[in-house]
Amino acid sequence: MHPLIVLLIATIAVFLLIIRFKINAFVALILSAILIGILSRNIPLASVIPEVTSRFGDVVGRIGVAIAMAALIGHSLMESGAADRITRQFIRWLGEKYSSLSMLVSGYVLSIPVFHDTVFYLLIPLARAMTIRNGGKRYVLNALSIGAGGVATHLFVPPTPGPLAMAATMNLDIGLVMIVGLTIGIPSSLAAWLYAVWIDRKLNIPMREAPGASLAELEEIANRPESELPGFFVSMLPIALPVLLITGNTVANTFFSGTAFAQQMVFWGNANVALILSAACGLWVLARHKNMGLRDLAKPAEKAIKDAGLIIMITAGGGAFGGMLVAAGVADSLSQGASDMGISYLFLAFGVAMMLRVAQGSATVAMITVSQMLAPLITQSPLPYHPVYLLIATGGGAIMAGWMNDSGFWVYKTMTGLTEMEALKTKSVSLSVMGLTAFLFAWLGSIFFPMV
Residue spans per domain, the chain: 56-166+177-313
The overall longest dimension of the chain from CA atoms, in Å, is 67
pLDDT in tens, 229-253: 888 889 888 888 887 887 788 788 7
204 — pLDDT class (breaks 50, 70, 90): confident
Which long-range contacts does 341-349 make (Cβ < 8 Å, 24+ apart)?
345/374, 345/377, 345/378, 345/383, 345/390, 346/389, 346/390, 346/393, 346/439, 346/442, 346/443, 346/446, 347/393, 348/374, 349/374, 349/390, 349/393, 349/394, 349/397
Q: What is the DSSP string of 279-311?
A: HHHHHHHHHHHHT--TGGGHHHHHHHHHHHHHH
pLDDT at 384 > cutoff 90: no
212 — pLDDT class (breaks 50, 70, 90): low
State how far the Cα of 415 lies from the Cα of 174, in Å rounded to an integer.
Answer: 34
pLDDT at 393 > cutoff 70: yes
- pLDDT in the model for residue 335: 63
**Does residue 162 contact residue 368 with C-beta atoms inside 8 Å?**
yes
- pLDDT in the model for residue 339: 64
291 φψ region: left (φ > 0), alpha (ψ -120 to 50), beta (else): left
What's the angle, vertex CA 410, arms to CA 433 and CA 272, rounded to 5?
Answer: 105
State how far the Cα of 120 lies from the Cα of 208, in Å rounded to an integer.
Answer: 17
State how far the Cα of 392 lies from the Cα of 177, in Å rounded to an integer.
Answer: 9
- Among the listed ranges 5-14, 72-81, 142-151, 338-347, which one has the minimum average pLDDT value? 338-347
**Does residue 14 contact residue 404 with C-beta atoms inside 8 Å?**
yes
Torsion of CA 163, 165, 170, 172, to 10 degrees: 60
Residues in the chain: 452
Q: Distance between alpha carbon 414 and the CA centroid of its chain, in Å? A: 13
- pLDDT in the model for residue 194: 96
State how far the Cα of 12 lies from the Cα of 377, in Å rounded to an integer.
Answer: 35
